[in-house]
Amino acid sequence: MLLQNKNAVIYGAGGSLGGAVAKALAAAGARVFLTGHHLDVVQIVADEIIASGHKAGADVVDALDKNAVETHLARVIQTAGSIDISFNAIGLNPVQNIPLIEMDAEDFVRPVSIAMRSHFLTATAAGRAMVKQRSGLILLLTATPGGIGYPYTAGFAPACSAMETLSRNLAAELGIHSVRVVNIRSAGSPDSKVFKDAIAANPEAMKHILHGMEHDTMLKKLPLMADIANVAVFLASDMAGMITGVTVDVTCGTTAGLNYRVMR
């Protein structure tokens, strides 16, 4: 197994994408420690992983609380002996599809504030532990607006850009200690809960939106959660041991240049 004997902490594991990555890491052999705001939701994911024959635990951790993050991480290391993978997938609570000139400042700033505080706390806590071990991967996740101008994405766009900058700078500082930091940039997965909920609430509008998103890509389709999870497994494995300080683009080519003028 690619991740045999590795220990992973996933923040926001109760979310659909966080859960998908947690299951993929576990299936590849990692022991996963799942966290979230609500134990019942995270426990469901942990139970599914355990039922499939893999190792998982669940805890309530507020990824915006420094003490909660550090206390939990110390407990993980005491239990498992190391922290090899740290992945933060908490929700940023963005308000989108509103022109910037019509947006309230608080709605714009909120996702940036959540992203920066949470990722700083979780990544630096993991980084301190990994420096002592002289090994480990800190994994982040952003989306298309982190790499290209994308209208009506409001505060989510600068939040993505800020996370990508954080990942590069942290990688530059931790590389000398053999600790890697990598970001995954997704185009949005139509099988994720946020998209499924939006489709259920407004199927006609979402059909148009998804078609537009697909048309913006080079491959004319969007990555599914499994595609993101598979990339996470690869990056966490020794096969990616020389990859750090970069964003791995899984946007089906969107951020390499919008392809709306290319016809089939």
What local confidence, expressed as pLDDT, does residue 259 receive?
57
Task: List, in order of start, the domains of the chain with CATH numbers.
Answer: 7-189+223-256 (3.40.50.720)
Q: 14: part of which helix (H) or strand (E)? A: none
Q: What mean pLDDT do residues 34-38 have?
A: 96
pTM, rounded to two decimals: 0.93
- Would you call 103 helix, strand, or coil by DSSP? coil
Is 250:223 a contact under the CB 8 Å cutoff?
A: yes
Cα dihedral sign, 130-48-222-110: negative
How far, rounded to the nearest angstrom, does the alpha carbon of residue 159 sit from its chain's CA centroid?
A: 13
Q: How many residues does the chain have?
A: 264
pLDDT digits (tens, 9 = 90+) for 139-173: 999 999 999 888 899 999 999 999 999 999 999 99
Q: Distance between CA 18 and CA 98 in Å, rounded?
A: 27
Q: Distance between CA 248 and CA 231 in Å, rounded?
A: 9
Q: Match 């700078």 to its residue by tokens.
A: 169
Cα dihedral sign, 98-260-209-145: negative
pLDDT digits (tens, 9 = 90+) for 65-112: 999 999 999 999 999 999 999 999 999 999 998 999 999 999 999 999
pLDDT digits (tens, 9 = 90+) for 218-259: 899 999 999 999 999 999 999 999 999 999 999 999 887 655
Tell me the percentage of the chain whose pLDDT exceeds 70: 97
Closest CA to 49 of 77, 14, 84: 14
Residue 262 reports pLDDT greater than 60: no
Is 103:24 a contact under the CB 8 Å cutoff?
A: no
Q: Distance between CA 143 and CA 15 in Å, rounded?
A: 16
